[in-house]
Amino acid sequence: MTGFVSIRNLRKSYGSFEVLRGINLDVAKGEVVCVIGPSGSGKSTLIRCINRLEGFSPESEILVDGIPVATGRALARVRAEVGMVFQSFNLFPHLTVRENVMLAPRRVRGTSRADAARRADQLLARVGIANQADKYPEHLSGGQQQRVAIARALAMDPQVMLFDEPTSALDPEMVGEVLDVMRDLARTGVTMIVVTHEMGFASQVADRVIFMDAGQIVEQGPPAQILSNPVEPRTRNFLGAVL
């Protein structure tokens, strides 16, 4: 069985330091996978490899929807199917909220201005900030900015959404509003891979939790098993430290 996202023997090194040491992972269409693990374990590198924001070693293979994550035209096809949300929101400061969401469909797809604006307003409503569309990002709270970043990623109608600690840079009172949007998204059947320290979210929303350490998947399974009843000592130690 291969997944909608299929990762085989993923290896990556920085110089002599091997940050990913043979990751194998299949994510089914519609599945929500949360990736947890200590800082420096390779979680960000793993998800950045999926749309090749990071290169990886030649013996590794990643397929998204059957398309190899390679270079050139295949990579452009993969990137059109993969949306990404980062810890830092990375909105364009000189564009309004609506313009931020319109940008990729305009540039990449050549969508008309009117269609892109209409779609942007739908997406902004979906993430609960329709009334902020004409503002510039600096006038929004962190939670609102991150919701714009999610709307911007959704504007390309991705098949897979990658999240890298989307709530880690937020003030605590804003974490919930972003997780709520992600929870809604999960319900709509979008395939999601979420690096997070939010164990409550993982336990409620994930179909599967993956624990990584030192560039490898140490343990994985349903959230109830991994978060409450882990087998591996490293998983226990990590959860003991964060819970």
* Contact pattern from residue 1 through residue 40 relative to ligand ADP, giving x for each residue in contact according to CB under 6 A and a dash for the rest: -------------x----x-----------------x-xx
Compute the distance between CA of residue 157 and CA of residue 13 in angstroms, rounded to an integer.
32
Number of H helices, E strands in the chain: 9, 10
Q: Is 44 in the site for Mg ion (CB under 5 A)?
A: yes
Residue from 5, 34, 43, 161 that binds ligand ADP (CB under 6 A)? 43
Give the number of C-alpha atoms closer than 13 A to the C-alpha of residue 193, restricted to the C-beta side.
30
CB atoms within 10 A of CB 105: 21
Verify binding: residue 235, ligand ADP, rule CB under 6 A. no
For the segment 82-111, give every residue that binds Mg ion (CB under 5 A). none
Q: Residues 23, 27, 31, 45: which binds ligand ADP (CB under 6 A)? A: 45
Is residue 191 a contact residue for Mg ion (CB under 5 A)?
Answer: no
CA atoms in the 13 A half-sphere facing the CB of 4: 18
Q: Is 224 helix (H, G, I), strand (E, B) or coil?
A: helix
Would you count residue 166 as binding ligand ADP (CB under 6 A)? no
CB of 98 to ligand ADP, least distance (A): 32
Counting contacts by CB under 5 A, is residue 6 touching Mg ion?
Answer: no
Does residue 196 bind ligand ADP (CB under 6 A)?
A: no
How far apart are CB 11 and ligand ADP at their closest, in Å?
A: 13
Q: Is 44 in the site for ligand ADP (CB under 6 A)?
A: yes
CB-nearer residue toward Mg ion: 42 or 158: 42
Q: Would you call 241 helix, strand, or coil by DSSP? A: helix
Instruction: Give the integer Cα–Cα distance in Å for 188 and 184.
Output: 7
The vertex-135 CA angle with 134 and 140, nearest 5°, equals: 140
Give the pairing of strands 5-14 and 17-27. Answer: antiparallel
Q: Site residues (CB under 6 A) for ligand ADP?
A: 14, 19, 37, 39-45
Q: Site residues (CB under 5 A) for Mg ion?
A: 44
